[in-house]
A and B are shown apart, each in its own frame.
Chain A
Amino acid sequence: MNLSPHDVAFGIIAAGMVIAAIGVVTTDNVMHAALFLVMVMAGSAAQYLLLAAEFVAWVQVIVYIGAVVILFLFGIMVTRAPMRATASQTNSQRFVGAITALGLFGLFAAIVVDAYEHTRFVPGDAGTTQAISSELFTDFIVPFELISLLLLGALVGAVALARKD
């Protein structure tokens, strides 16, 4: 079995993502959880680049690391979540949760190993900005317009919910 540079890069990034993902769900410090989430999202963006999905990778960086995590930090600040690890943030369902997650992972892993064990591929040019834009503004123009309505609804909804009157 010979490893290509792609496989080595995948392994390094995936190891970081696994550690950070476990950090998000185990740390008692809410601030650290947000920073671990940044690591997972940055790792995801790097994996998208390995898959030659350049446009989605940069959208991921801008939307997740730039906007969503900042929203989370505001949420932590407004709800006065514990910034230091004062109390455990895990409830008494730890073992049920671990069994559920492990069982689900085993199921998923068995299915994908069974279906795609020897499938190899080389990423094509489906992820270039040009390909995405020509597809988005022809075949997917109606969903694209609908998503702008959805974002407007979310904007108005968030303001209506969170404002004081």
Chain B
Amino acid sequence: MQIIQFLILAAFLFCVGVYGVIVRKNSVLVLMSIELMLAGVNLNFLAFSAMLNDTAGQIFALFVIAIAAAEVGVGLALVILIFRGFGVSDFNELDEMKG
């Protein structure tokens, strides 16, 4: 196997996630795009771990998964809070702090 095929796929996933974070209106969809970026990063960790035959990369991937789960939990709590406070879940309509 070539390492580059995994790295290119990971870079693609990350960039699709960046695109999603920029263009998505709905807050749940923005969180999903962040998950895509994290999946790309994880693929990089595991590809290098397999190439160098070093277990540290696997451990880092596990930590990324744990932190992603915590992030989704808190993120969705915030989204629910925003929805309850403003009645919207679109980030475009949250312009209270616009000067």
Query: CB < 8 Å: which of B15, B22, B43, B68 contacts A68?
Result: B68
Query: CB < 8 Å: which of A6, A150, A161 contacts B66?
Result: A150
Given contact pairs A6-B1, A151-B70, A100 touches B50 in the complex (Cβ within 8 A): no
Query: CB < 8 Å: which of B23, B29, B53 contacts A30?
Result: B29
Q: Which A residues are in CB contact (< 8 Å) with B26? A: 30, 81, 89
A4 touches B1 (CB 8 A): yes
Within 8 A of B (CB), among A76-108: 76, 78-81, 88-91, 93-94, 96-98, 100-102, 104-105, 108
A164 to B77, CA, bound (A): 12
B31 touches A75 (CB 8 A): yes
Task: Mark contacts of A38-63 with chain B using CB atoms, 8 A cut-off: 1 yes-contact digit, 0 otherwise.
Answer: 00110010011011110110011001
Q: Which A residues are in CB contact (< 8 Å) with B11? A: 105, 108-109, 112
A41 to B20, CA, bound (A): 16
Chain B interface mostly helix, strand, loop or mixed? helix
Residue of B nearest to A147 (CB): B66
Interface residue count for A (Cβ, 8 Å)? 90
B51 at the interface (CB under 8 A from A): yes
In the assembled complex, how far is the CB of residue B27 from the closest CB belonging to chain A, in whole angstroms? Answer: 7
Residue of B nearest to A107 (CB): B11
Q: Which A residues are in CB contact (< 8 Å) with B73? A: 71, 154-155, 158
Query: CB < 8 Å: which of A10, A90, A105, A161 contacts B5?
Result: A10
B58 touches A127 (CB 8 A): yes
Task: Mark contacts of B37-80 with chain A using CB atoms, 8 A cut-off: 1 yes-contact digit, 0 otherwise.
Answer: 00100110011011111111111011101111111111011111
In the assembled complex, how far is the CB of residue B66 from the closest CB belonging to chain A, in whole angstroms? Answer: 5
Within 8 A of A (CB), among B25-39: 25-29, 31-33, 35-36, 39
Residues of A within 8 A of B (CB): 4, 6-7, 10, 14, 17-18, 21-22, 24-25, 30, 33-34, 37, 40-41, 44, 47-48, 50-53, 55-56, 59-60, 63-64, 67-68, 71-72, 74-76, 78-81, 88-91, 93-94, 96-98, 100-102, 104-105, 108-109, 112-113, 116-127, 131-132, 135-136, 139-140, 143, 147, 150-151, 153-155, 157-159, 161-162, 164
Seed contacts A7-B1, A116-B2; 11 additional CB < 8 Å A-B pairs:
A30-B28, A33-B32, A60-B65, A71-B72, A108-B14, A109-B8, A119-B3, A121-B50, A135-B55, A139-B56, A161-B77
